[in-house]
Chain A
Amino acid sequence: MAHADKNLPRSTPETKVFWEGCREGELRIQRCADCGEHQFYPRIICSHCTSDQIEWVVSKGQGELISYTVVRRAVSDAYAAEVPYVIGIIQLAEGPTMMSSLVDCDCENVTVGTKVEVVFENWTEEISVPKFRPVNP
């Protein structure tokens, strides 16, 4: 599948560890060494207590779909081949929320509350994008 024309994420000094993790099959998020809260997206401070004692941890990659939509009209030609595609907001078991795609699912039968787990899709040599699939009971 051609990913080159998609809106490729561009790693920054702040997000480099995250994208390197994705390339290695790890969903890396941040944890505050002071208050213990997790956060996503990456920041230089803890968004809960403003501590700068931030450490990277590997998320279990498990969570719950708290909302979703089935996109029937693609945002651009680069995404048209994938229509209909499911975009959702996932709450990770560690607490933070993130947007992602839901894959390996029947897009006509998605429900809020579905348990999901992370998978990685390789887009380029540098970029792998975290997506989620339903956890089969």
Chain B
Amino acid sequence: MHPMRGKVAIVGAADTEVGIVPDLSATQLCIDAALRALKDAGTSKDQVDGLITCNSMAEPYMYHAEAMAEYLQIFPSYCMSVGAGGGTTFSILHHAASAIATGVCDTVLISMADSMRSGLTRDQAMAMQSSTGHTQFEIPYGPTVPAFYALIAQAHMARYGTTAEQFAAIAVSTRTHASLNPTAQKRDLITVEDVVNSRLIADPLHLLDCSLVSDGGSAVILTSAERAADFPHSPVYLLGFGEGHGHEHISQAQSLTTSTAVEAGQRAYEMAGLGPKDMDFAQLYDCFTPTVLVELEDLGFCEKGEGGPYVESGAIELGGALPVNTHGGLLSHCHPGNPGSMFALTETVTQLRHQAGERQVKNAEVALVHAQGGIMSSHTTLILSTENS
């Protein structure tokens, strides 16, 4: 058995208010998330000896984690801020796990927040996000972030016959889940027709295929499996993790339709000793609808090219074979930039504690969460469970 399997657990998890939160700065959101997670874990800041954050676009610091430690007046033995786009949040979880397993620290607080909606103008937010392109060989052509992802969608349509309606089905099921989540930014139900009739942003992506621009923060607290028993909530154990890295710039991708989510998933499954059929639900990075479709295929939930029919079948809805993005995802819950996938992690904890109310997945015990950063560039898969045996 892999030495990291089940060795650490999440013992605290919490989100700030999300959506449009103009009365809190990005720094305040980060601190608020941290304090809420500490409260959830029934512990205090003085017990934290590891701190991980990601930088904020709205209120950046040269060394963000140091600034947050100073703000909180904590003095950790392990402290860093990380940046790998949307994949940031999950990739760092296993670094923290390794630090705990090797005795570098005992209790790690991971807190991430940004104020993309209220702390930046619309043009600033757009310029910052699209700067992920290559400065000489992509950016001059005027691509937007939706345009980068549209290139993946169009290639999938050309190769496998995937349709705009199939992409739309993902937006619809995600919104239905959000309608059951009181904290979600967008809760009004939508139909496939609503999605395909919404404004085209970058063909084939319509407005409702695109995720939100939000404010918000989210935090988790990690400790060893031994220590986890001393916390008030049932621990959520990390059974497996894996990364995959294919490219930085989409014009350099080895494949537009198959990503290195394949390798990330295989590594995580192998460590956990589990496979796609063992997952009770999944949280898959959904900055745009096609991202989810490619991830479903690459993580082995359906065959390559079958993502369209799979999502149309209702499989990813609550009550389906694999409920996906039960909180409403980046498409409907919130998307404050780099911290975006943290909310998928806290939702996973909520589901595995069986505290998700109306949107609870019945008998949920094992879940897969997956995030990617860049333009399907870097991938991280985590497998979490209520049991570590």
* Chain A residues within 8 Å of B, Cβ to Cβ: 6-12, 15, 40-41, 66-76, 78-79, 82, 85, 87-89, 97-101, 111-113, 129
A6 to B200, Cβ gap below 8 A? no
Q: Report chain B residues within 8 Å CB of A82.
A: 142
A71 to B142, Cβ gap below 8 A? yes
**Seed contacts A67-B151, A97-B252, A99-B133; 11 additional CB < 8 Å A-B pairs:** A41-B252, A67-B155, A68-B151, A69-B150, A70-B200, A71-B202, A73-B146, A75-B126, A98-B251, A111-B158, A112-B158
Instruction: From B127, B138, B139, B154, give the contact of A67 (CB < 8 A).
Output: B154
CB distance from B386 to the nearest CB of A (A): 41
> Is B226 on the interface with A (CB-CB < 8 A)?
no
A87 to B199, Cβ gap below 8 A? no
Instruction: From B141, B151, B250, B251, give the contact of A101 (CB < 8 A).
Output: B141
A89 to B203, Cβ gap below 8 A? no
> Is B92 on the interface with A (CB-CB < 8 A)?
no
Q: Report chain A residues within 8 Å CB of B253.
A: 97
Q: Report chain A residues within 8 Å CB of B130.
A: 75
- The closest CB in chain B to the CB of A12 belongs to B136
Q: Report chain A residues within 8 Å CB of B134.
A: 41, 99
> Is B43 on the interface with A (CB-CB < 8 A)?
no
19 contacts between A and B (CB under 8 A): A12-B136, A15-B136, A40-B137, A41-B136, A69-B150, A69-B203, A71-B142, A72-B199, A72-B202, A73-B146, A73-B201, A76-B123, A76-B142, A78-B142, A97-B253, A99-B137, A99-B250, A99-B251, A112-B158
CB distance from A122 to the nearest CB of B (A): 13
In Å, the complex CA distance between A12 and B158 comes to 36
- The closest CB in chain A to the CB of B202 belongs to A69
Q: Report chain A residues within 8 Å CB of B155.
A: 66-67, 112
Q: How large is the interface on B (under 10, 10 to 19, 20 to 34, 35 or more residues)?
A: 35 or more
Q: Report chain A residues within 8 Å CB of B190.
A: none
* Interface membership of chain B positions 108-142, coded 1 if the CB is closer than 8 angstroms to chain A and 0 otherwise: 00000000000000010011001001111111111
CB distance from B15 to the nearest CB of A (A): 30
B136 to A99, Cβ gap below 8 A? no
CB distance from A93 to the nearest CB of B (A): 17
B142 to A69, Cβ gap below 8 A? no
> Is B256 on the interface with A (CB-CB < 8 A)?
yes
Instruction: From A9, A41, A68, A113, give the contact of B140 (CB < 8 A).
Output: A9
B142 to A89, Cβ gap below 8 A? no
Known contacts being A67-B256, A75-B126, is A129 close to B142, with CB within 8 Å? no
CB distance from A27 to the nearest CB of B (A): 12
> Is B143 on the interface with A (CB-CB < 8 A)?
yes
A71 to B144, Cβ gap below 8 A? yes
Q: Report chain B residues within 8 Å CB of A87.
A: 141-143, 147, 151
Q: Report chain B residues within 8 Å CB of A71.
A: 142-144, 147, 202
In Å, the complex CA distance between A61 and B126 comes to 32
In Å, the complex CA distance between A12 and B134 comes to 13
Q: Report chain A residues within 8 Å CB of B133.
A: 99
In Å, the complex CA distance between A77 and B155 comes to 28
In Å, the complex CA distance between A113 and B134 comes to 24
- The closest CB in chain B to the CB of A100 belongs to B141
CB distance from A100 to the nearest CB of B (A): 6
Q: Report chain B residues within 8 Å CB of A75.
A: 126-127, 130, 142-144, 147
> Is B213 on the interface with A (CB-CB < 8 A)?
no
B202 to A99, Cβ gap below 8 A? no
> Is B152 on the interface with A (CB-CB < 8 A)?
yes
A129 to B140, Cβ gap below 8 A? yes
In Å, the complex CA distance between A89 and B257 comes to 13
A67 to B158, Cβ gap below 8 A? yes
CB distance from B132 to the nearest CB of A (A): 12
- The closest CB in chain A to the CB of B139 belongs to A7
A-B pairs, top 9 by smallest CB distance, nearest first, are A69-B150, A112-B158, A99-B251, A79-B142, A67-B155, A9-B136, A70-B203, A67-B151, A69-B202
Q: Report chain B residues within 8 Å CB of A8.
A: 140
- The closest CB in chain A to the CB of B252 belongs to A97
In Å, the complex CA distance between A6 and B135 comes to 12
A7 to B142, Cβ gap below 8 A? yes
In Å, the complex CA distance between A85 and B134 comes to 19
